[in-house]
Amino acid sequence: MSLNRIQIALQKNGRLAEDSLELLKNCGLRVVRSRDDLFCRVKELPIDLLLVRDDDIPNFVSSGICDLGIVGENVFSEVGQTVEGFSAKIVERLGFSACRLVLAVPENGAIKSVSDLEGATIATSYPQLLHEFLKKNSVSARTLNMTGSVEVAPRLKIADAICDIVASGATLAANGLCELTTILKSEALLIRSGQALSVEKEAIIHRLLARIRGALGAEDSKYVMLHADKARLPDIIKLLPGAESPTILPLQGVADKVAVHAVCREAVFWETMEQLQAIGASSILVLPIEKMMG
C-alpha cells in the first residue's frame, strides 16, 4: 500500500459492512475488491480498505495500522476501555446501524429493576461496559463472558440476566426476555488514528469528510418549491423545516405571488405540506437531494 494512500478499516460482513459500503457509494466512490476479499481499493480517491472483524477495527486505528475506521459505538466504547494507550478518536457520527446495549431479563422472572441484579449472574459480550454500568449503579453482580448467543444464557440456567446488543428486540422476545434498561445507544462512527499523518493524507481525509458530510446531509434534506402570496411569505417560511434563507423568485405575469425555493435540512412530512397549503401555498413540490456540499 502506498504511503500516500489512506487506509480505512471496515467490518468484513454484516449490516454495518453493507451500510458502510453504501455510504462510500453515495460519496461517489467505487470499491474494487481483491481476490482474497481482505483488501479493496477505491478508484476515485487514493484510499484502500481493509475488511476485518468489527472488534479489531478500534485497535487497528489506534495503533496506526489504519488511518480511519467505521465501527459501531458499542465496539468502540468496549475496546477503548480494554486497550492500554488507546488513541483512536471519533471524527463523525454516521447515524446508521443504530442499536442499543441493553440489560434484559426473563419476562416472568423475579428481577424487575436494576437493584434486583444484586448478586445475580449476567451473561454478556461487553464486560467492560457492563462493569461500568454496575459500578455507577452500586450493584454487585457476577459477569459471565460469552462471545455469541448471549440471549440463550437464562434459558440454559447459566445466567439470571443478559447484557447484549439489540436492534428491534425480536430476538429477546423469541427467547422470553424483556428489556430492563438501556446502557448505551449506539450508531456507526467514523474514527481516526491519534497519530500524526502526512500533509498528503490529511488532504485526502479532508476531501473524504466533505463528501461524507454531504452524503449524510442529503439523506434527510429535501428541495422544496412552491408558489405563495407575498403577504404570507413570513408564515410560509416559518413552516419550512430546517430551511436556511430561501430563494424568492417573481412569477411571470403575477404581481402578488412569488416562487419559493428552499433546501430543508429536516424531513418534510405530508402534514407540513398540508399546513403550507392551508395558508395559501400552491404547486408544492418536494424533491430528494442526491448530493449536497457547503
| Domain extent listing, the chain | 6-97+188-218, 99-186, 221-288
Set of cell numbers at residue 61? 486505528
Say yes or no: do domains 6-97+188-218 and 99-186 share a fold: yes
* Arch. (CATH architecture) of 221-288: 2-Layer Sandwich (3.30)
Q: Which CATH superfamily is domain 99-186 in?
A: Periplasmic binding protein-like II (3.40.190.10)
* pLDDT tens by residue, the chain, 294 residues: 456 899 999 999 889 999 999 999 999 998 887 666 788 889 889 999 999 999 999 999 999 999 999 999 999 999 988 878 899 999 999 999 999 999 999 998 889 999 999 999 999 999 999 999 999 999 999 999 998 889 999 999 999 999 999 988 888 888 899 999 999 999 999 999 988 899 999 999 999 999 999 888 887 788 999 999 999 999 998 888 877 789 999 998 888 899 999 988 777 788 989 999 999 999 999 988 887 776
Q: Using alpha carbons only, what angle is made at residue 114 by residues 108 and 115, rounded to the nearest 5 degrees?
A: 105
* Arch. (CATH architecture) of 6-97+188-218: 3-Layer(aba) Sandwich (3.40)
User: What is the 8-class DSSP label of residue 81?
Assistant: T
In this structure, how many other beta carbons lie within 10 angstroms of the beta carbon of residue 142?
Answer: 11
The C-alpha atoms of residue 187 and residue 165 are separated, in whole angstroms, by 11
